[in-house]
Amino acid sequence: MSVSQSETAQIQDSEDIVRLRQRVRDVMKNEGFSLVDQTKMVTAASELARNTLIYGGGGTVILDILKSQVGRVGLRLFFEDHGPGIADIDQALKDGFTTGVGLGLGLGGSKRLVNEFVIDSGPDAGTRITITRWR
Amino acid sequence: MDTIPILQLDDFLLISIQVEMHDRLALQLQDELTERVVKTKAKGVLIDISSVETVDSFMGRMLGNIALMTQLLGAETVVAGIRPAVAITIVELGLSLPNVRTALNVNSGMAMLRQLAGTSVGGNGHERQPE
Amino acid sequence: MRPEDADDLQSLPPGSLDLGAMSPVIFRYKPDWGRMTALNTINTNSSTKKFCITRLALEIQALIHHHRKKPTMPQINSKTVEVLTQRTKDVLEDWLRAQLASATLRLDLVSENELRKQSHDFLTLFATACEASKLQDINTPQWDEAPHWKEVREYLSSITFSRARQGFSSSETATFVLSLKQPLFSHLRQLMNSNSEELIETMWTVTVLIDKLALLSTENYQQGREEIIRRQQQELLELSTPVVKAWDGVLILPLIGTLDSARTQIIMENLLQTILDSGSALAIVDITGVTTVDTLVAQHLLKTIAAAKLMGADCIISGIRPQIAQTMVHLGVGFGEVATKASLADALAESFKRLGLTVGSLQAPA
């Protein structure tokens, strides 16, 4: 597996979320992802970017295009914030769990929309989430 | 600054979302719409989202809120034109939109609103006949 | 690298694919390669394994070559170029003869004329590339980018892809380029019989080059086959999920066979797109042909129906057979709020009712 293209973006306000959505969609369109794949990944990106903004107090996202050895193309997004972090990750992944203003579908819902979902967080440790969708 | 125009058609308000929704715009639309419903005494609201490519939980919540708020103000809300890819994503995400009525397109959405408001529109073949 | 390693490596027969004979050297020389040899024991698909081993052999060949004293390259390579440019016709004839005599010949799939044309075109491109590059770049990364070699590779790829489609086996396909070795060698021998040291070096260069091309051909062959499998899978999926318009505003989706995630996704997209295109507000999902309905299948169906509902279309499930109804109850699987009917006919009648239509006989009852 190799990274064929990589870029970093800031998530500091709600317009950054819109920009990220557009960027993810453009990249996936270029790489030939199906419309449903595009929509799922863009939606997951939107959810996680909003989490980064609201709960993490802003952060960064790294967007990587992956090429696997067998020629599969994937898009990987890495969200990172230095906010308060998540104490109980299992609970946070359950539908309906929220400490804030959302519907509590952000984490669990995003996980269902992507092929791979990795979360790393802890109290006062910030949050790092990696999602990948393969074509 | 983007704004989303709210059109009036007889007793109904019509909104077509053509721009990429960011969170502030969504909240702004919610405010303006409830004001307009009161001012125009509208009996129904039709939101056309056939141009919308992404509905995340925030946008879903906004649609649900609008439906509940307008209902409190005496107007039914119908969301028309959800795209197939968007519908699949909403289901996977786990959004259920329980209070939101949906229609295939603006045409059937308007027919639905008229029926809900008790206005006779004549048989177009798609209306349920009185039992 | 220790001197005895170099000796060991050099003692291997050139072009050998015998991994067993090589592995002690490989292990000593580079532990990483030991992991690659593990592939030999894993139960992978045989062409992948073959590819890995061939690849490994090539790496070792390149290494041996690298550690030999640098020969006087220009002299050696000019002979190869000479053979290719001045004896083109003879080499071509010998090559064709070798191919026609080969056990892997498939005259049922490719005619002699076509084979002649392919061989001629390939040899022309090959000779041009050898001449232009003086064969000095074959062991460098630039080989992958050099434009003259690109043409050779593209032509070879096109032959390989068409053979993969026609039903050649991978060895039958690779033989095309591999069988060029023998005629090339015999002509080189004729030209350079006085200097055996140089002859060996020359033959070595040509071997490396042709093996590279053969590897590429094998790789392409595999890609070509995978492409075919993918396309057939796709076609099968699309063929197996037709959406039928039953009436203005009513669609029928007859499901047959087993529903897995991949199929359900295509069924779902297909149905939703047809709902949108036809403006139908009612869809009947008929599961008469579905063999089992377990929790997963029910979930898939419910997701599809929920998505249709979001778009503004109602679904009716029909064709639940008695034993399936029993299994569903035992498993505790239900379709919740969704309307269900025993038969497709009942579902159709229900949709007519919802549309306000009545079906009656043309003749008034007596």
In a domain, B126, yes or no: no
B87 with C355: Cβ contact below 8 A = no
Q: Which two tokens stand for residue B125?
A: 């073949």
Tens-place pLDDT, residues C312-363: 999 999 998 888 888 778 877 777 778 899 899 999 999 999 988 888 888 7
ipTM of the complex: 0.85
First to last CA, chain A: 14
How many domains, chain A?
Answer: 1
Question: What is the residue whose two structure tokens read 């057939």?
Answer: C232
Which residue in the set B56, B84, B85 is minimally distant from A46, CB to CB? B56
* Residue B75 CA: distances (Å) to CA of B66, B82, C7, C172, C357: 10, 21, 90, 73, 30
Interval C280-289: pLDDT, tens:
999 999 988 8
- Number of A/C CB contacts below 8 angstroms equals 3
Specify whether domain C73-234 bears CATH 1.10.490. yes
Q: Is the pLDDT of residue C174 over 70?
A: yes
Does residue C282 sit at the B interface (CB-CB below 8 Å)?
Answer: no
CATH of the domain at B50: 3.30.750.24
Residues of A within 8 A of B89 (CB-CB) are 36, 39-40, 43, 113
Asked if C160 and C224 count as a contact pair (C-beta separation under 8 A), the reply is yes
Residue B76 lies in a domain: yes
* Nearest chain C CA: its distance from A36 CA (Å): 8
Residue of A15, A21, A39 to mutate when probing chain B, most B C-beta within 10 A: A39
Looking at residues B37-47, what average pLDDT do you find?
94
Domain range enclosing A59: 2-134
The 10s digit of each residue's pLDDT in A5-62 is 899 999 999 899 999 999 999 999 999 999 999 999 999 999 999 999 988 999 999 9
Question: B56 to chain A: which residues are within 8 Å by CB?
Answer: 43, 46-47, 50
Total count of domains within chain B: 1
**Where is pLDDT greater, at C107 or A133?**
A133
Pairing label, strands A116-121, A127-134: antiparallel
pLDDT for res C365: 60
Range of the domain at B60: 6-116
Comparing C-alpha atoms, which of B19, B22, B102, B20 is closest to residue B67? B102
In whole angstroms, give the CA distance from residue C135 to residue C76: 10
Q: For chain C, what percent of residues have pLDDT higher than 90?
A: 13
| Distance in angstroms (rounded) separating the CA atoms of residues C244 and C274 | 9
Domain assignment of residue B124, yes or no: no
B88–A102 C-beta distance less than 8 A: no
User: What are residue B48's DSSP bridge partners?
Assistant: B16, B80
Neighbouring subunits of A (3+ Cβ pairs under 8 A): B, C
Q: pLDDT confidence of C139, banded at 50, 70, 90?
A: low
Q: What is the pLDDT of residue A37?
A: 94
Check CB contact under 8 Å for B23 and A102: no
Report the alpha-carbon distance of residue C218 to residue B92 in Å, rounded: 41
Q: Does A39 touch chain B (CB under 8 A)?
A: yes
The residue whose two tokens read 């060996």 is: C200
Judge whether residue B83 has pLDDT over 80: yes
Percent of chain B whose predicted confidence (pLDDT) is above 70: 89
Most confident of A64-73, B103-112, C230-239: B103-112
- Distance, in Å, from the CA atom of A72 to the CA atom of A135, rounded to the nearest integer, reads 7
In a domain, B29, yes or no: yes
Q: Which residues of C touch B88 (CB under 8 A)?
A: 268-269, 272, 303, 307
Q: Tell whether C262 lies on the interface with B, counting CB pairs under 8 A.
A: no
Question: At residue B36, does pLDDT exceed 50?
Answer: yes
Q: What is the pLDDT of residues A74-112, one digit of tens each?
A: 999 999 999 888 888 888 887 766 655 555 557 888 999
Half-sphere exposure of B72 (CA within 13 A, CB side): 8
Q: Are C259 and C290 in contact (CB under 8 A)?
A: yes
Task: Give the DSSP letter of residue C102.
Answer: S
**In contact, C194 and C33? CB cutoff 8 Å:** no
Whether B1 maps to a domain, the answer reads no
Domain-embedded: residue B53: yes
CATH number for the domain harbouring residue A82: 3.30.565.10
The SS3 assignment for A4 reads strand
Distance separating alpha carbons of residues C297 and C301, to the nearest angstrom: 6
| pLDDT of C171 above 70 | yes
Q: Distance between CA atoms of A101 and C61, rounded to whole angstroms?
A: 64
Interface of A with C (CB under 8 A): 36, 71
Contact A46 B60 (CB under 8 A): no
- What is the fold, at CATH topology level, of the domain defined by C244-355? Transcription Regulator spoIIAA (3.30.750)
Q: Are strands C250-257 and C282-290 parallel, antiparallel or unpaired?
A: parallel
Which of C241, C235, C248 is closest to C271 using CA atoms? Answer: C241
**Residues contacting residue B35 through CB under 8 Å, at least 6 positions apart:** none
Average pLDDT, chain C: 77
Phi-psi region of B108 (alpha: psi -120 to 50; beta: other; left: phi over 0): alpha
Q: Pairing relation of β-strands C250-257 and C244-247?
A: antiparallel
